[in-house]
Structure 1
Amino acid sequence: MPAKNGVDGTLYCYPNSSRAQLIQISAQYGGSDVKLASDFEFGVTNKSPAFTAKFPFGQVPAFESSAGCLNDTMAIASFVGGCDLRGGDEITRATITQFMNMAETKLFPAACQVLYPCWGLMPNNKNVVNKGHENIKNFMTVLDQHLLNRTYLVGESVTLADLSLAVYMRDLYTMILDENRRNSYVNVTRWFTTIMNQDEVTRVLGQTTLCVKPAQFDAKLFQQNNPKQQKNAAPKKEAAKKEAPKKEEAAPAPKKERSAPFSSLPAPKLNMDDFKRHYWNDPSEVIHKYFDDTFVDGEWSVWKVEYKYQSELVKTTKTNNLVKGMFQRLETMKKYAFGLMYIFGDEGDQRLAGIWLGRGGDNFFYEDTNWTIDIENFNCTKMDMNKPDEKALWTKFIDGGMDDWEGKQFEKDHIF
């Protein structure tokens, strides 16, 4: 799991908030332990006396830590993200702040003008929507020129400038900016996909799928979200109409549905969603306790995997892409498995190995033919959790303590 060397605290916000996601991603970079308040109810919790005593304005996101309470998205992201995301000198910090403010005051309002009608949160006022499109176009055009010869917005590494703009831009790229529109902003698109594919970002957001067909105003959804009060009116008397009996038609032959993976197995004691939730949010002892209390051999199994062709691993970027490509092709396996893939060693002499927890007692990669594409390139060894040395290897991976493999020092981790 990510090294925890930042700050610990509780984040209060409503579900699927891009502001909360920005804070969670920043915490990944800063090694901070940010837990979402599980009992938060928007409009209730943030209006309670206990909440307003800590956060007088009653707004969210709100962050509570031993160091104090914060009530602004960019301030919280900066606090939990650490000094590397904030910048190393005064002009760099000021420039990063400039882009963060643009994300909040220019990009976000324009995006809302376009996206809210698609979500049924706002009527389809064409003037408002067209103005939003115009503002987005102007913003993206300037940003595209800025990124002409730059990988990142400020400096030579990811900063809060990149994260704040990219997170606020994500819904536009997934819902509005189809290929034709993306071609107008090739530099922004290249930068956006670079940020979205950072490990720290995908851990929070998962994979980002670019828009194929732009979303439109959903009148039915808007009516559901904004129901009109019906006036009481006397019901009209209508003559009962007798329907002519319909001719019976031959029922079509039922389609043979493909059974879900592992559907023949009984319900397991260990719940994968719960396990992953513990892994990301709780200390190691909580993760191990949950595993020890719920793991049943045969319901789940643990496997060590080692890449067969280690001599081919000569460049870290290519090894990273190898793992990322594998994870993308295993997307449908996520609710059935959890994996840690580590890269060890310097360029030219690397090792790729990992540990996996998956459904059933056999090699779960072979449950679906779509999952076997990459695993054929790995030696897979089933681990016995009753053997101390094999249980110790599992524990060391979960604790983030795998510092070397065959004498090669840890270089990079990938988490499935």
Structure 2
Amino acid sequence: MSAGTIHTASEVEGKRISAIAAFAGLSVEVKESTSTIVKTPTFITSAIGRYIASLAPNSTLIGNEATDAALVDQWVAFVDSTIAHNNSLILQLVKGVINPYNKPIHTVFLDRLTSSLTIIEKHLDTHTFLATERITLADIALAAELQSAFSTTVDSALRAKFPNVLRHFETIVNQPKIASVFGSTTFAEKALQYVPPLKEKKEKAPAAPAQPKAEKKPKKEEIDEEDDDKPYEEAPKEKNPLDLLPKSTFNLEDWKRAYSNKETRGAGGSLEWFYQNFDKEGFSLWRVDFKYNEELTQTYMSSNQIGGFFNRLEASRKYLFGSVGVLGTANNSIIAGALVARGPEIKPVVEVAPDWESYTYERIDLENVEQKAFFEAALAWDLEVGDKKWVDGKNVRQASFQLNLSHGQFSDVEKQFK
């Protein structure tokens, strides 16, 4: 039975979908995308896989029971958001797709990829497969992403730490039904590294013909001429006024790391860390609201707008932390959130963004119960304003790079192994 034709621009996506179809006893034609295809693959990869698996009668790929199906979906989502996402970002960095190359950010993504593999390693210590006692979509999805990672970013030294993951990978890719789809795997001995592009050598201009010596000028004139020929020296750049503020005990980068690595609420959470370390003399807290909410349409477009605003705040990233989201539904939503800014005023921090005046800024007083609750909810991504609930959001976090990842993206799968 044919499941149709899929257009994709990614070898990993095509292999993953072909393997799912083959395991389900179906055929699918995978074609390269054309200029007429706006987005590839035609559907989201995980959705395509689930649809194809559902076409096969009595297929165990998506689980037989509702609870099994939920586990399959959970693990597929985990693979997509952690393994596939971080491996893709590392490859884009080392291949120069993301410019300029940033070694600390490379390390961040590799650490996240390693953490994800550690979670799977622990799970596979007591399980043969990810979701059920049989091969499911989740196992095939993981194998497809690991084949790419094992041949590029996860080298022999790192693979040695994950024997269960490697065992699982070998089990899946060597299944008779799908072995031909995966083919052989070229395991990387050393991870792919960034290589700076070679600088083009400038050809030397031909030497000018020798000129007759000019008559020597009087000493005074010679000195004047030398003064005139001195190269122009650019005046030193003025320091950012925010750098001239008295030193603060609150380290913004430490806070960003605490926010990224801890649960937001509860004992030992990032909010507890914040209140223990915050310096209200050196920093200020602000509520931010978009002025033109009536113009907002689709919530995902509003979320992208927040990301764009944060990108335009790049010059102030070391002075700023933010957690801003879109609340509500399509054609009935608002943008709101909270900022932590260096200094007593918000303008010097946000005016680097051309659209900063499209938002209103109201100082948050932590002594005010309602304002404190707003601040905490914005950071925890459970903010509600009126009848509008949080849908999606963005954070200003790591310096020099916008991490477009959901806060706490590992969700329940990660928590059970912490």
TM-score normalised by L of structure 1: 0.46
TM-score normalised by L of structure 2: 0.46
